[in-house]
Structure 1
């Protein structure tokens, strides 16, 4: 990724694509309220869905691990 976006840059990026926050959230299967909160700086994106939103918006580097897959991998490692 060429750089981390600020909240203002992420909003401009969405606008450049002609996408609303609602459309972005639907497209990526995340909660629109969480997306608005990350963009407003009320959630920092440290964990959970806020982390996923921040990574998808390019506001932080990180990986997105789907919870069901993580549980499946943990259960396979237990055997």
Structure 2
């Protein structure tokens, strides 16, 4: 998976703020992110692989992805394990 966000996509995102008349700081505050981190993401200084920078990039539409937690991943793994056990029981 390509983790690089293109400079043109970052510029488009910055232009969307201007088009909507919303400051980056205001958007960050509304969504509960540190404004400085949002500025760093939009400047291309963060790789946005995990944590808040990942969530910012996904929320801004800069990259595909899911915003979740480790608990969400654990729940998916538990469900998959249960499905496997059920299938194995049915085969016996």
- Give TM-score scaled by structure 1 length: 0.76
CA–CA distance in 2 between the matches of 1:66 and 1:32?
Answer: 21
Q: How many residues align?
A: 69
RMSD of aligned residue pairs (Cα, Å) = 2.1
Runs of 4+ in structure 1 over 6 Å off:
none
Residues 58-69 of structure 1: matches in 2 within 5 Å?
58-66=61-69
Q: Which runs of 5+ in 2 are unaligned?
A: 1-5, 79-92
Higher helix share: 2
Q: Identify which of structures 1 and 2 has the higher relative contact order when contacts are C-alpha pairs closer than 8 Å and 6+ apart.
A: 1
- Give TM-score scaled by structure 2 length: 0.66
